[in-house]
């Protein structure tokens, strides 16, 4: 077995459960860096609705146990915010549930496959202990929007991609002014748009802002309010402006990434995402369609190079 490159696994706090609204529990995995996502569940009268799962078998099993510590009711519905493995790898551990998601979420999961052989596993996360993962994509899919009900409580699922990925869906609970934003929002982390769109993310953030959410469960990091929207917008605009200058100066994405002074954004985790994000910004500057497929290998290679040739810090 390879020795872990990062030695701070022990400093990662255990996941926590927070009842963000009556019957609605958020499962928070700090520090919210690579692979440490948030998921959630809603306890109804006679069944549970789950929002996203986790990255590895162990983490997904721990999440399921956390649900079981709250309720014995059947886990009847599972919805996904997007295709990334930290939100979907654990889907298969909810075998009785109807798995709901965007049609493109299903497609992206099937195309990516599972680590260690598939997904973004081999290059980006060589040291993660995945466990025995099985493919379980959404099998009830939609294209624009769908409403789900937990008893009388309405949950509006709306497609807002391409943004963080090609297939982002937000889950809005209007009666509680509560939003599950998926990876449109990283609280304390760097936005990541290599598989999505910079401008698409900005557009999606404006639609999120218009909802008037009071409580937001971001895809990563602590529960927050709408103030976090401004932070994401500000980074993405900074990315667009920096990319415009770098593109005009003829700089390759990695060259530009090395020249950029991240300033306050350097305090966020996963700063190497900048090197990948610039590829996406360049694509949009050249007028390519938002969300067009780009070569993931070269973007990941640049992030690793930016990171001094080391894999990214993933303590999941």
Q: Looking at beta carbons only, is 48 or 50 nearer to Zn ion?
A: 50
Closest alpha carbon to 67 in 114, 129, 17, 31: 17
Q: How many helices (DSSP H) and strands (DSSP E) are in the chain?
A: 9, 12
Residue 274 phi, psi dihedral angles, 5° rounding: -50, -45
Q: How far apart are CA 221 and CA 203, in angstroms?
A: 22
Q: How far is the CB of 37 from Zn ion (least distance, A)?
A: 7
Q: How far is the CB of 84 from Zn ion (least distance, A)?
A: 3
Q: How far is the CB of 22 from Zn ion (least distance, A)?
A: 28
Is 25 a binding residue for Zn ion by CB under 5 A? The answer is no
| Candidates 129-137, 182-190, 223-231, 275-283; binding stretch for Zn ion (CB under 5 A) | 182-190
Q: How far apart are CA 26 and CA 227, in angstroms?
A: 19
Q: How far apart are CA 181 and CA 217, in angstroms?
A: 6
Is 269 a binding residue for Zn ion by CB under 5 A? The answer is no
| Candidates 82-90, 100-108, 135-143, 150-158; binding stretch for Zn ion (CB under 5 A) | 82-90
Sorted by sequence, the CB contacts under 8 Å of residue 37 that are 6+ apart come out as 29, 52, 54, 55, 84, 86, 87, 183, 219, 220
Q: How far apart are CA 42 and CA 17, in angstroms?
A: 12
Which 222-261 positions form the footprint of Zn ion (CB under 5 A)?
A: none
Q: How far is the CB of 69 from Zn ion (least distance, A)?
A: 26
Q: How far is the CB of 224 from Zn ion (least distance, A)?
A: 17
Residue in the structure block whose two tokens are 């899919």 = 141
Beta strands in the chain (DSSP E): 16-21, 24-28, 39-43, 48-51, 75-79, 98-102, 140-142, 145-150, 153-159, 169-173, 178-186, 215-220
Q: Looking at beta carbons only, is 115 or 246 nearer to Zn ion?
A: 115
Task: Select the residue interacting with Zn ion from 31, 183, 231, 270 (CB under 5 A).
Answer: 183
Q: Looking at beta carbons only, is 48 or 163 nearer to Zn ion?
A: 163
Is 220 a binding residue for Zn ion by CB under 5 A? The answer is no
Q: How far is the CB of 287 from Zn ion (least distance, A)?
A: 26
Q: What is the contact mask toward Zn ion in residues 84 to 123, using x (rule: CB under 5 A)?
A: x---------------------------------------
- For residue 275, give the DSSP letter: H
| Candidates 42-50, 57-65, 181-189, 225-233; binding stretch for Zn ion (CB under 5 A) | 181-189
Residues that bind Zn ion (CB under 5 A): 84, 183
């Amino acid at each position: 077995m390879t020795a872990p490159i990062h030695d701070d696994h022990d400093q990662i706090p255990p996941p926590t459960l927070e009842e963000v609204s009556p019957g609605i529990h958020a499962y928070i995995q700090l520090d919210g860096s690579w692979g440490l996502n948030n998921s959630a569940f809603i306890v109804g009268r006679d069944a549970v609705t789950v929002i996203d799962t986790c990255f590895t078998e162990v983490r997904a099993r721990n999440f399921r146990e956390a649900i079981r510590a709250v309720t014995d009711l059947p886990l009847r519905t599972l919805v996904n915010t997007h295709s990334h493995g930290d939100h979907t790898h654990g889907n298969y551990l909810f075998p009785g549930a109807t798995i709901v998601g965007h049609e493109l979420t299903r497609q992206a999961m099937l195309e990516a496959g599972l680590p260690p052989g598939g997904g973004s596993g081999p290059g980006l996360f060589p040291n993660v202990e995945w466990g025995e993962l099985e493919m379980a994509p959404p099998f009830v899919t939609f294209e624009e929007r769908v409403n789900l009900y937990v008893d009388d409580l309405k949950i509006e699922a709306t497609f807002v991609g391409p943004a963080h990925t090609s297939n982002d869906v937000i889950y809005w609970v209007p009666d509680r002014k509560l939003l599950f934003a998926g990876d449109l929002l990283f609280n304390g982390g760097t936005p990541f748009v290599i598989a999505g769109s910079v401008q698409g993310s900005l557009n999606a953030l404006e639609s999120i802002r218009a909802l008037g959410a009071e409580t937001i469960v971001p895809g990563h990091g602590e529960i927050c309010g709408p103030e976090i929207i401004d932070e994401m917008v500000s980074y993405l605009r900074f990315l667009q402006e920096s990319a415009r200058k770098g593109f005009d100066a003829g700089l390759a994405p990695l060259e530009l990434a090395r020249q950029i002074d991240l300033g306050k954004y350097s305090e966020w985790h996963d700063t190497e995402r900048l090197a990948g994000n610039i590829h996406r910004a360049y694509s949009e500057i050249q007028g390519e369609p938002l969300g067009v497929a780009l070569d993931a290998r070269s973007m990941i290679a640049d992030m690793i190079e930016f990171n001094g040739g080391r894999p990214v810090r993933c303590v999941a």
